[in-house]
Amino acid sequence: MGSINKDMPLQMVISFDKLLQQYDKMAKSDDLLLSSRAKYILENQAPYPELRDGFSDIKLLEKHKDVIHIILQDSFAEVLSENEIKAASLPYFDIIFNKSKRFQKILENAGIDFQPFLRNQDEGINYIMASTIILKFHYGFNLDFSRPYFYDIPDEKGVMRHYRILYNADFMEILPTKLSKKLTQDDVDKLLENPEDLQLWKEMIPPNSFISKGFVISNMFDVTTEHTISEIKTNLISSDKRGSETFISDLQDTFRSFFKIKELKIGFVTYNSKDDQLERVYGNGMESFLLRGKDNEQCNHALCIGSYDKIVNQKGYFTVSDVEKYYKLSDGIEPYKGLFEQGIKSAIFAPIVNEGELLGVLELVSTRKNELNGVNATKLDDVMPYIV
């Protein structure tokens, strides 16, 4: 592991001094419970001055993990550890420590060697984002540099989950080094006019020109549902994405995250109202589990009375939570027969409707019983308008 510093405007130094200063004050409190707790934390830290002075060797995080856990115990309440997704971190260096029990379990479920990394971070973006923080907190230029940060972490089933990160930087301080420069408003204006000119940013705010001393607390929230709705919208609305060879596989992966079902598959079929038939959609990866390779099929052949009424007449979701059960109960009529023979165990058929007219059907199928059902079908309410 070794040192964490790289070609960045900030030299990262891990320190708990700013937090410990609060315990210095609390130790003098008239509240005996408060003061004794503060003294306990300070006594445990005292033999290790580097925890106040700061260090860049991340091997020390493991060496002092027990003391660090004591120092952070009020910021990471034990009673909430099973519930909160939380860690101490150094965001631009993907260093994480003192993880809550729930976050630790999430990482373990992702796989033994899994390491979370901030999404869409490359050297240029990192450098400029770190520089904007320096511009605000050291130089005092009031910039809106906020942007969402995410971890993408697979769960134990291999389904990708998305976690939004909110940083608490109360225990950080930014200190100039001899490499730092004086900047004028004209300099800042020039930087803002050239947000992608990495060399200009490095000239104005050179590498290692500031020290970031401290740590941040990362609070994470599972935003998989919101994120996947956004992804579905983007995939469906963006013409360049719809025309790509991976459109269906990308959309399918997004639906898998949306429903938390790894083996979920999607299909589409159009509805011809004139001939009252279902027709194949032509395109890369497009398939239909109702048509099973056919170009078209009369609705009264592809659907039973109940499914026809639900989809075509009522324009509602038709769900089959246990295909095998209904295949046997119906003596093997469609659509149960076709689904059963394809190894499908549960399914949702969602009508694609525009201004009261049925345009087609979105097909969602799973190889596991009850995974798709009438309850989770309602999740589609948020995305069906974009499928139209």
- Domain extents for the chain? 10-220, 225-387
At 122 the pLDDT is: 64
pLDDT bucket at 227, cuts 50 / 70 / 90:
confident
Q: In this predicted structure, what is the pLDDT of residue 49?
A: 97
Dist. CA 289–CA 266, nearest whole Å: 9
Task: Work out the angle between the directed axes of helices 17-26 and 32-45 (0-180°, nearest 10).
Answer: 140
pLDDT mean over 286-299:
92
pLDDT at 2: 47
Reported as a single tens digit per residue, the pLDDT across 313-350 is: 999 999 999 999 999 999 989 999 999 999 999 999 99
Query: In this structure, which amino acid lies at residue 33?
Result: L
Q: Looking at the predicted structure, is the pLDDT value of residue 235 above 80?
A: no
Amino acid at 368: R
Q: Which CATH number fits domain 225-387: 3.40.50.10090, 3.40.50.300, 3.30.460.40, 3.30.450.40?
A: 3.30.450.40
Instruction: Round the average pLDDT of the chain to a whole number and report it.
Output: 89
The residue written with tokens 């104005």 in the block is 204
CA distance 90 to 109: 23
Give the separation between CA 63 and CA 69, rounded to whole angstroms.
12
Eight-state DSSP code of residue 309: I
pLDDT tens digits for 6-49?
A: 688 999 899 999 999 999 999 999 999 999 999 999 999 999 99
Please, are residues 270 and 387 in contact by the beta-carbon 8 Å criterion? Answer: no
Residue 294 structure tokens = 């056919």
Q: What confidence category does residue 229 fall into, taking pLDDT thresholds of 50, 70 and 90?
A: confident
pLDDT the model gives residue 4: 60
Omega before residue 335 within 30° of 0, cis: yes
